[in-house]
């Protein structure tokens, strides 16, 4: 991570190196915090944040699920995100808003500890690497199971839930893979450590329904782009072996964007290269985020 100039913290910009919290900050100990990930892209007509308002909506939904009341309204948070990009003079970046429980009472019950908000932005290229974005990544099915809906409420983007992702990612990387794919508690494919999963068979797309997975904003965008191209998209459960025999597999997410998967559990997917539907949707996605698709201009907030 390349340090930038300023981070927005509770209504004011502070120097990057001074954006600190107390070691007894409640969320640091117990993991109850909500966050978002957004991207700002450089385009022909300048830079723009992709689906800013949808991300702000989801941040508020996650905080609501976690019983945290954000001390700002949605307009103020959206403005803080835009200003964080502007003040750091970034034309392309990743943006991280974080809502957390601050210093005060210690113990599982946070009492009336203050709810804090920070927004940071930094330069970040292809999350899974440029080669994976172009040629596909290698993944393994993890030994770790994704959350049950009544253990961790899966519609919330909650910091503590990602311990599960960290363990799965470390296991996959230690075994020489780029990413992990997790199954749900009933053994069906759920999602990656930070991505939604799509498979393509016989010209149709299938993706996990909104049961054990986060309601991905990039996922939603890609489903819409696919249907506009006349591709049938089913939201339905599927098994790990259906991934093995798929013609194409790809993952989506703010960080991962749209990344092909060329191999799972040492089994080649299709011909081992990004397939035609994956390539077409990846092209359409990047056309949108770079401001080249006027039909989806409403998805962009200009900086």
Q: CA distances (Å), 249 to each of 182, 235, 243, in order? A: 15, 15, 7
Asked if 157 is an active-site residue, the reply is yes
CB 260 within 8 A of CB 138: no
Identify the CA nearest to 70 among candidates 35, 104, 94.
Answer: 35
**How far is residue 163 CA from its own chain's centroid?**
15
CA–CA distance, 6 with 133 (Å, rounded to integer): 30
Strand partners, 286: none
For residues 210 and 177, give the distance between their C-alpha atoms in angstroms, rounded to a whole number.
26
**CA separation for the pair 105, 114 (Å, rounded):** 10
Do β-strands 137-141 and 248-253 pair in parallel, antiparallel, or remain unpaired? Answer: unpaired
C-alpha distances (whole Å) from 257 to each of 29, 194, 272, 280 are 31, 11, 20, 14
CA–CA gap between residue 244 and residue 262 (Å, rounded): 10
Strand partners, 38: 95
Question: CA 130: distance to chain centroid?
Answer: 17
Q: Which of 44, 89, 123, 157 is catalytic?
A: 157
Alpha helices in 94-144 (DSSP H): 130-135
DSSP class of residue 245 equals: T
Coil, strand or helix at 102? coil
Question: Any idea which residues carry the catalytic annotation?
Answer: 157
């Amino acid at each position: 991570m390349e340090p930038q100039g300023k981070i927005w913290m509770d209504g004011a910009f502070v120097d990057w190196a001074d954006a600190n919290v107390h070691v007894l900050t409640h969320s640091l100990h117990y993991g109850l915090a909500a966050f978002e990930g957004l991207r700002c892209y450089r385009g022909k007509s300048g830079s723009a944040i992709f689906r800013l308002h949808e991300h702000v909506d989801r941040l508020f939904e996650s905080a609501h699920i976690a019983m945290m009341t954000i001390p700002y309204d949605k307009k103020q948070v959206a403005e803080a995100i835009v200003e964080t990009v502007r003040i750091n003079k970034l034309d392309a970046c990743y943006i991280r808003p974080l809502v957390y429980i601050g210093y005060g009472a210690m113990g599982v019950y946070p009492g009336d500890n203050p709810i804090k908000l920070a927004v940071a932005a930094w330069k970040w290229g292809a999350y899974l690497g440029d080669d994976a974005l172009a040629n596909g990544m290698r993944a393994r099915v993890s030994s770790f199971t994704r959350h049950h809906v009544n253990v961790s409420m899966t519609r919330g983007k909650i910091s503590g839930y990602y311990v599960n992702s960290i363990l799965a990612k470390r296991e996959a990387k230690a075994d020489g893979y780029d990413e992990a794919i997790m199954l749900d508690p009933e053994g069906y494919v759920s999602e990656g450590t930070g991505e939604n999963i799509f498979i393509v068979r016989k010209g149709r797309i299938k993706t996990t329904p909104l049961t054990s997975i986060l309601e991905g904003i990039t996922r939603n965008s890609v489903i819409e782009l696919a249907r506009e191209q006349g591709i049938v998209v089913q939201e339905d459960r599927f098994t790990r072996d259906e991934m093995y025999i798929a013609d194409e597999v790809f993952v989506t997410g703010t960080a991962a964007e749209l990344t092909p998967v060329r191999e799972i559990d040492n089994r080649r997917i299709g011909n081992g290269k990004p397939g035609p539907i994956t390539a077409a949707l990846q092209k359409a996605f990047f056309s949108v985020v770079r401001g080249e698709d006027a039909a989806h201009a409403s998805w962009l907030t200009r900086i």
